[in-house]
């Protein structure tokens, strides 16, 4: 399960902290259904700015290592809170995007979803099929998580043998509770982060440092063990 810390190493600003995307803005003004209803052009201006900045960001060694892990295990699920799409660009396939994807749009009239990776959108984009107003395909504050994504995440967490929690503050629910759910079902919990979080006390192992440095070493060790179980 990954959070903003993984993508921060690619130059993607986190929302919180110095230089974060919320700096100078209130979340209520750009990331709620009420804000979009009140000022769709202003919300789209913010998201188009984010999309433009993301085009310059590329997957880092952490993303690549996570994609490589998918090939190591017979049953592997990546649950991410990130909306930047960098995991997909890195080659990960079995992904649960809890908070949606910034490159998709959803029609507010007919509910169809569209992939707009790399496309330059207007400040008021409309659906090609019905003409309805499009909205960013992300989960805003005050909205429920997509039911299918939440169910897939809960299924993976409930039956996993181990969960790696990488680059997340472990404060945003329900993602923050998932490692605890996995542990309650007997899973090994490993946290990889720059600093301690509320999860650190519950984790079986805490590895502090950059995901882009720790994860490649983990991949190498797991591949070596798979090829030679005596290691």
pLDDT digits (tens, 9 = 90+) for 180-202: 999 999 999 999 999 999 999 99
For the chain, the average pLDDT equals: 90
Quick check: 123 pLDDT over 90?
A: yes
Cα(230)–Cα(188) distance, integer angstroms? 21
> Residue 175 sits in which domain range?
4-227
pLDDT of 224: 85
Average pLDDT over residues 24-37: 81
pLDDT of 104: 96
Average pLDDT over residues 155-174: 93
**How many distinct structural domains can be found in the chain?**
1
* pTM of this structure: 0.89
Q: Which positions ≥6 away from 129 have C-beta within 8 Å?
A: 107, 110, 112
Question: Would residue 99 show up in a list of annotated catalytic residues for this protein?
Answer: yes
Closest CA to 72 of 230, 218, 231: 218
Average pLDDT over residues 44-64: 93
The answer to whether 140 and 36 have CB atoms below 8 angstroms apart is yes
Give the CATH number, domain containing residue 16: 3.40.50.1220
Of 63, 87, 99, 116, which residue is the catalytic one? 99
């Amino acid at each position: 399960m990954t959070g903003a810390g993984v993508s921060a190493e690619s130059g993607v600003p986190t929302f919180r902290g110095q230089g974060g995307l919320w700096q100078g803005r209130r979340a209520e003004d750009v990331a709620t259904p009420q804000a979009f209803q009140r000022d769709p052009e202003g919300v789209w201006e913010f998201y188009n700015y984010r999309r433009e900045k993301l085009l310059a960001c590329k997957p880092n060694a952490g993303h690549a290592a996570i994609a490589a892990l998918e090939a190591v295990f017979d049953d592997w699920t990546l649950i991410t809170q990130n909306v930047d799409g960098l995991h997909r660009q890195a080659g990960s396939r079995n992904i649960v995007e809890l908070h949606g994807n910034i490159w998709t749009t959803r029609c507010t009239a007919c509910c169809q979803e569209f992939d707009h990776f790399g496309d330059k959108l207007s400040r008021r984009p409309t659906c090609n099929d019905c003409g309805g107003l499009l909205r960013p395909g992300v989960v805003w504050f005050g909205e429920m998580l997509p039911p299918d994504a939440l169910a897939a995440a809960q299924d993976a967490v409930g039956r996993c043998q181990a969960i790696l929690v990488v680059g997340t503050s472990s404060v945003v629910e329900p993602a923050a509770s998932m490692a605890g759910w996995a542990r309650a079902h007997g899973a090994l919990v490993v946290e990889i982060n720059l600093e301690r979080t509320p999860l650190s006390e519950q984790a079986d192992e805490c590895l502090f440092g950059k995901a882009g440095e720790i994860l490649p070493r983990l991949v190498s060790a797991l591949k070596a063990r798979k090829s030679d179980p005596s290691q």
